[in-house]
Amino acid sequence: MPTPIRTRFQIASDQSLLVYFDLSHSTQQQSQISKEVHEQVRRLVRLLEAEPVTGVRNVHPGYASVLVNFDALRLRHEDLQETLGGYIERMEKVALPEPREVEIPVCYGGDYGPDLQGVAELRRLTTQRVIELHAAREYLVYFLGFVPGFAYLGELASELVTPRLSAPRKTVPPGSVGIAKNQTGVYPVATPGGWRLLGRTPLKMFQSDRAEMSLLAIGDRVRFVPISREKFVKLERA
């Protein structure tokens, strides 16, 4: 029997409404990260893509929520909530596409991964062990957010869980692979960032002139594959 999931609506602004999903046995005030909740997020986003609601302008998925932006002159919160309520009742029937399996080559350490050493010291591991642990798992793309093509991947092995840097970097180079708490991800473009950087991929995570603009999509399964510096350079040129 599927785990029952509660839905909660919260007004976010005069032109947006948040839909939260919670495991019904959860006593936490805040929604928690879980695969069941993620499935609900994915289903609602998919349904809103398949059957767009008139007046809805944009949708921002999160770990346990979907923010729905709308034209306040065409829709009211109450009406949108009612429509979304109807969507959520039908969600169990929504077929989700098979998750894709994506491999991301990563050159760990050195100037590509300036925090590898620091993470190893914090967690009393060798750098080799940090790489092994990071590359051993299959991660789930919970959602894309922050900037174009940034995938929130989870969950990290507990041995690697570390807080964000206390002072974020002003610029993180594109392709940087970072970790923060129990998450990992790849920076698609140069942005400020506080995640600890373990390595870098030569792949382009986001390109607007490509058919699939984002390399990763919500629900995908991701594996990181360690590569040498030589291989990195070769792939980067390709």
Chain residues binding another protein by CB under 8 A are 10-16, 18, 30-33, 45, 49, 57-67, 69, 72-73, 76-77, 143-150, 152, 188-189, 191, 206, 208, 213-214, 218
CA distance 71 to 61: 18
From the CB of 4, what's the least distance to another protein, in Å? Answer: 20
| Residue 140 and residue 154 in contact, taking contact as beta carbons nearer than 8 Å | yes
N-term to C-term CA, the chain? 48
In the complex, least distance from residue 85 CB atom to another protein, rounded to whole angstroms: 18
Task: Please say which residue, 70 or 108, places its beta carbon nearer to another protein.
Answer: 70
Minimum distance between the CB of residue 162 and another protein, rounded to whole angstroms?
Answer: 14
**Spatial CA neighbour of 131 closest among 141, 142, 117, 145:** 117
Instruction: Say how many residues make up the chain.
Output: 238
**CB 127 to another protein: min, Å:** 28
- Which C-beta is closer to another protein: that of 67 or that of 235? 67
Q: Return d(Cα 72, Cα 16) in angstroms, integer.
A: 8
- The residue (of 74 and 234) whose beta carbon lies closer to another protein is 74
